[in-house]
Structure 1
Amino acid sequence: METKFCMSCGHTLETRDIDGTPRKACPACSFVHWGDYSIGVGALVVREDKVLLVRRAQEPGKGRWTNPGGYAEQLEQLHETVRREVLEECAVEAEVRNVVALRDLPRSIHNLYVAFSMDYIGGEPTPDMAEVDAAGFFTLEEMNGMNVAPFTRWLVDVALSGRSDGLAYDAEPIVPLDGHGLFRC
């Protein structure tokens, strides 16, 4: 959906050249609409060489296994978002250790996804039966027989194999993910 009105004063926006890019801007105040963005987070919780996965009960990805995660609330820090999402989706308590991967996916709503390595604290995986209908810790061998989402397969590789001091661009991911900007340690 196209932005038509100023989010500051409500005036109708016009298209203006700003630094060589046409952008929606307000002729009545200084507001510029820089674009539409969303920030997602994901948890990589490993316990006894098994990765925590949940099966999506709704679209997008209904029936696929993914790592727990979700979208950041406006006033919520990302490390709190990922803790909340893990607890809500599968009743597992985990603490953030570090950021281990980023996905940059430009589209109509530009999506940035931040994956966190998390330490398992407690709780047995129990699905919330709203967003997810199954949850558990799984080995790579077990995942081979499961409908694991391609991006999650990449993240599992990061969780189990990624060892680095920083994030680097992944030019050759283990799964083709066209249009994604993938960074990993």
Structure 2
Amino acid sequence: MTMVKYCASCGSNLEVRVIDGEERQACPNCSFVHWGSYSVGVGALVVRDGKMLLVRRAQEPGKGYWTNPGGYIEQHEPIHSTIEREVKEEAGVEARTVGIVAVRDQPRDIHNVYIAFEMEYVSGEPVPDQFEVDGAGFFSPEEIAGMNVAPFTKWLADIAFNGQTGGLEKDDENELQFRHAGLFKVPTLASR
């Protein structure tokens, strides 16, 4: 269990209590419960002319490895906007979110969920930001095989090059009234 000492609402010392069958840190003075620590990362699979966009990490973790562009979502940013922003920031390429094609779940002290998006190339030539990444380009499967590519990115490249479906597609045409929500669904027969 991640140890948080103080209540985020009132500042009191937290205590451990069993809530919903699990030991959780809870405030004895208000209704605050620390449900856990989580991070949500996103990654882009941008393919143009049979080549996938990769960037070389200039910082840890993964310094020196080629990976797909990506990052962590901001608190009030729709997830599809996050990945479009990350591709632009890291590689100078504009791409549009098509759908979700893979999810990685890593339960640990900070539970990490990573969502990989199929992206449609719109414009721009790869230029690294020289801060987070120091290299960027579109690479063929043959080129990728000879590069220092992170193992998870190799798995994602296989999905980008060989995946058989579009995954979950972005649903912009619905009647739900969620403010700033991004909805994704399994493609219907009408949309294929």
TM-score range with shorter-chain normalisation? 0.7 to 0.9
Q: Give yes or no for the alignment of 1:149 onto 2:150.
A: yes
Residue 98 (structure 1) aligns with: 99
- How many aligned residue pairs are there? 167
Q: How does 1:150-165 map to 2 (within 5 A)?
A: 150-164=151-165
Give 1:164 deviation, angstroms.
Answer: 3.1
Give 1:35 deviation, angstroms.
Answer: 0.4
Give 2:65's aligned amino acid. Answer: R
Residue 80 (structure 2) aligns with: 79
Give 1:150 deviation, angstroms.
Answer: 0.3
Give yes or no for contact 2:57–2:63 (8 Å, CA) kept in 1: yes
Gaps of 5+ in 2: 169-192
Rounded Cα–Cα distance in structure 1 between residues aligned with 2:50 and 2:166: 21
Rounded Cα–Cα distance in structure 2 between residues aligned with 1:107 and 1:21: 16
Rounded Cα–Cα distance in structure 1 between residues aligned with 2:78 and 2:102: 17
Rounded Cα–Cα distance in structure 2 between residues aligned with 1:163 and 1:74: 33
Give 1:2 deviation, angstroms.
Answer: 2.0
Q: Give yes or no for the alignment of 1:51 onto 2:52.
A: yes
Q: Give yes or no for the alignment of 1:135 onto 2:136.
A: yes
- What does the per-residue CA deviation read over 1:134-175, in whole Å, with 9 as the maximum and x for residues that have no partner? 0000001001110000000010111111123657xxxxxxxx
Report the secondary structure of 1:39's partner residue. strand
Rounded Cα–Cα distance in structure 1 between residues aligned with 2:23 and 2:166: 39
Give 1:124 deviation, angstroms.
Answer: 0.3
Give 1:6's aligned amino acid. Answer: C
Rounded Cα–Cα distance in structure 1 between residues aligned with 2:146 and 2:63: 17
**Percent identical:** 65
Rounded Cα–Cα distance in structure 2 between residues aligned with 1:137 and 1:107: 33
Gaps of 5+ in 1: 168-185
Alpha carbon RMSD of aligned pairs, Å? 1.1
Residue 65 (structure 1) aligns with: 66
